[in-house]
Structure 1
Amino acid sequence: MNPHPIPPAMAKAKGFTLVEVMVAMVIGMIGIIIMMQVFASAEGQKRTTTGTGDAQSNGTMAIYTLQRDIREAGYGFNAMNALGCALVLPAPASRTLTQLGPVIINPPTAEVPAGDANTDTLLVAYGNGEGAPEGDVITAINGIQLAVQAPGNFHVGPPADRVVAAPSAPLVGCSLTLATVSAVVAPNVSVAGSGAVEGGTLFNLGNNPRLLAYAVRAGNLTVCDYLAADCGAACTALDPPTCSAAWVPIANNIVSLRAQYGRDTTATADGIDTWDQTTPQFDPLKTQENFACLWARASALRIAVVARNTQVDKGTVTAQAPVWEGSGGAAIDLTARADWQNYRYKVFETVVPLRNLGWMATCTIN
């Protein structure tokens, strides 16, 4: 028998003391703090992983697209009498490009308006025709009918093949006109307005030649097709220029595009000895053949694409801007954006051989 029974009223009043409640609250608050810290850390790691994955995907897409087109550069017109000539384009572009080359780094801004600050632009040209890449000799001319050795390589479509007619040998002041095949009756190919001359060369660029302008605009890698729009007129004169829908984004969060020619400047033509951004230009004291030879000696292109993650961090996460092989150890300039250090970056770079130029005979630069 319990000698000291607890009265019913006191039993109902039994519970936690104030001290116990306060201790429990402290323990709960510590647990919440720990959980919040774990959550914040996990969320930061998630943003980093997601952002890095986005940069990886965007950079891969950008470098793959550029590499694919540059590999084709020069196909269909890889001959000395075509390289470096001006190119007259039909509508809708209706303009004359300064020169025809496989890949032109930073062409005149009237042709490819500058992109974001501290980035390069590219103009890539190639065809998809069935004819010989060195062209087909024009043996006779009767009006718009051009007699060639292999008329079966030309087609009226639809769509019809596009062609350019070049002189028989490199000619100072040469100008090529992109024209359309209207009929093929062996041995003749009918082409109006080609400017062809007997003994010259007819180059078949196929039914879908490409003249693609690339530029980084508003943090995106964009492309414009000169056979679909006038890429030069598609941008305003603002700084940076504002461009129309003719410039199509193909990869997001691309903050830099850099490029260099790999050229052989020696007399022996024994391989690349110089990497630079010097686009071949005609020297009035030298010949057109010498000018074309400068293009023929550009046998590779080195490119770098810098992709940025999508998440901006509150603090500095990139203390030093990335570098690439062509920068000589100098950092790629990303300071056009004030908060550039609050993003993470990944550099994609490669060397793309201009393989279509390698088919031509060696030439001598004098």
Structure 2
Amino acid sequence: MIGLAIGLLTLLAIYHLFSTSEGRRRTTAAVSQAQTAGALALFAIERDIRSAGLGFAGMDPAYLGCTVQAFKRTGRDPAQYTFPLLPVQIVDRNELRVLTGSSPNMFIGARYSASASGVFTMERSNAGFQAGDVVVGTSDTDASKCLLMEVTAGAGSSITGPGGVAEDDPSVRHMATAYTSFYTGASVVPERNGGSYVDMLDGGATSLGEGWLFSLGNRPTRNVWRVQNNQLMRYNFLDETDTKGVAVAEDVLQMVAEYGFDKDGNGKIDKDDEWTSFNVDPGSTSPVANMDRLMAVRVAILVRSSQYERDEVTAAEPRWANGSKAFPMGSDDEWKHFRYRVYESAIPLRNTIWGQQQ
């Protein structure tokens, strides 16, 4: 009986030691996984934001926030949609929408002096616009509306001149008929030239139609970043809706963001009131205040270990913005049984800063 009792006590000690060791192993593994997820999530967002505004950052601030009328023939429902022309849009403080072009050229746009039936007469030349590029067109007569189009003929294109002789086409065109893509050399049907606003930049009885064209290259993106079901999700708003979102990282509990404005014009963000989560929602009639002074976006990612701990292991709400702001964690204490880590970065908008110097 004594030997049996000693054996049971030994087994109990071994089980306790194993249970403690296994619990620590699971905690370590879960924390490591969450840390990796947080680093990858912040890296992906940071890389996207650093490219924001490529292709239109040097435009007149009067056009910033204009309602872009857009169309996508296939793969998107609804096919016709709108969005504000902003390099970065923060929605409800916890969703990011980042617009960037794909052109490798530092091209800041060109003026057109007349527009009719899908043909833009350029004020100087059509250099920088290739067949297959996606462009944003603005109008001098109404700065509140812009048009997203697909170039079907631009630099290097030819037209039939007098006597049937081919000559360079000096215009930029956005037709509905098939064209030869500069990028693939194949004949393609334009995806973005359609909808009820396709001719909105054309001249009329009182105007020839004048404005600016800004090239976004042939593969622009307007990535939407949000947290859903503890996953960081992303989809390209220009081509897809939220049903096509893909998971970028797991174990992401929350994401928050705010704008950094150089309100006093000293070339830097050095005051607390220059950081704000001021929203510009789709369809909003509110003015886009200070967007011409936007210099950075601060993003904070809160990751949570998937391991539920028996005892409370987190005493205070995780904080961001250099510790000045807290993540909302709810009214109950269940959140205290998980471990957290905050990944935060103030990301400069390089293209916007460069555009402000033009």
TM-score (norm 2): 0.77
Identity %, equivalent residues: 27
Distance of 1:336 and 1:62 partners within structure 2: 27
Code of the aligned partner of 2:338: Y
Question: What displacement does 1:55 show?
Answer: 0.4
SS in 2 for 1:155: coil
Q: State the match for 1:8 in structure 2.
A: none
Distance of 1:246 and 1:284 partners within structure 2: 29
Q: State the match for 1:125 in structure 2.
A: 99
Code of the aligned partner of 1:200: G
Contact 1:309–1:344 at 8 Å: present in 2 too? yes
Q: State the match for 1:270 in structure 2.
A: 267
Distance of 2:228 and 2:98 partners within structure 1: 17
Contact 1:296–1:358 at 8 Å: present in 2 too? no
Question: What displacement does 1:57 show?
Answer: 1.4
* Pair 1:181–1:194, CA change in 2 (3 A): farther
Cα displacement string for residues 226-270 of structure 1 (whole angstroms, at most 9, x for unaligned residues)? 122244xxxxxxxxxxxxx3222211121110111111222x443
Candidates 39, 43, 46, aligned match of 2:18: 39
Question: What displacement does 1:54 show?
Answer: 0.9
Structure 1 unmatched runs, 5+ = 1-21, 108-118, 232-244, 286-290
Q: State the match for 1:207 in structure 2.
A: 218
Cα displacement string for residues 144-187 of structure 1 (whole angstroms, at most 9, x for unaligned residues)? 2223445342222xxx211111135xx76521111111123232
Correspondence list, 1:180-191, <5 A: 180-184=150-154, 185=157, 186-191=169-174
Candidates 171, 179, 201, aligned match of 2:149: 179
* Pair 1:131–1:141, CA change in 2 (3 A): farther
SS in 2 for 1:360: helix
Q: State the match for 2:195 in structure 1.
A: none
* Pair 1:62–1:297, CA change in 2 (3 A): same
Question: What displacement does 1:100 show?
Answer: 1.3
Code of the aligned partner of 1:101: L
Q: Which structure features the higher share of strand residues?
A: 2
Distance of 2:136 and 2:82 partners within structure 1: 14
Candidates 90, 115, 120, aligned match of 1:105: 90
Contact 1:163–1:179 at 8 Å: present in 2 too? yes
SS in 2 for 1:340: helix
Q: State the match for 1:302 in structure 2.
A: 298
Cα displacement string for residues 75-96 of structure 1 (whole angstroms, at most 9, x for unaligned residues)? 1111124311111121334454
Contact 1:56–1:307 at 8 Å: present in 2 too? yes
Q: Point out the structure with max Rg over C-alpha.
A: 1
* Pair 1:125–1:327, CA change in 2 (3 A): farther
Q: State the match for 1:254 in structure 2.
A: 252
Code of the aligned partner of 1:176: C
TM-score (norm 1): 0.75
Question: What displacement does 1:40 show?
Answer: 1.2
Candidates 325, 334, 341, aligned match of 2:329: 334
SS in 1 for 2:318: coil
1:155 paired with 2:125, answer: no
Candidates 155, 162, 166, aligned match of 2:138: 166
Distance of 1:28 and 1:318 partners within structure 2: 38
Distance of 2:210 and 2:106 partners within structure 1: 16
Code of the aligned partner of 1:28: G
- Equivalenced residues, count: 306
Structure 2 unmatched runs, 5+ = 158-168, 176-197, 204-208
1:324 paired with 2:320, answer: yes
Distance of 1:346 and 1:40 partners within structure 2: 26
* Pair 1:294–1:210, CA change in 2 (3 A): same
Q: State the match for 2:347 in structure 1.
A: 352
Code of the aligned partner of 1:179: M
Candidates 60, 82, 85, aligned match of 2:66: 85
Code of the aligned partner of 2:7: G
SS in 2 for 1:320: coil
SS in 1 for 2:350: coil
Distance of 2:237 and 2:85 partners within structure 1: 13
Candidates 25, 28, 38, aligned match of 2:7: 28
Question: What displacement does 1:293 show?
Answer: 7.3
Q: State the match for 1:134 in structure 2.
A: 108
* Pair 1:284–1:302, CA change in 2 (3 A): closer
Q: State the match for 1:112 in structure 2.
A: none
Q: State the match for 1:237 in structure 2.
A: none
Q: State the match for 2:164 in structure 1.
A: none
SS in 2 for 1:259: strand
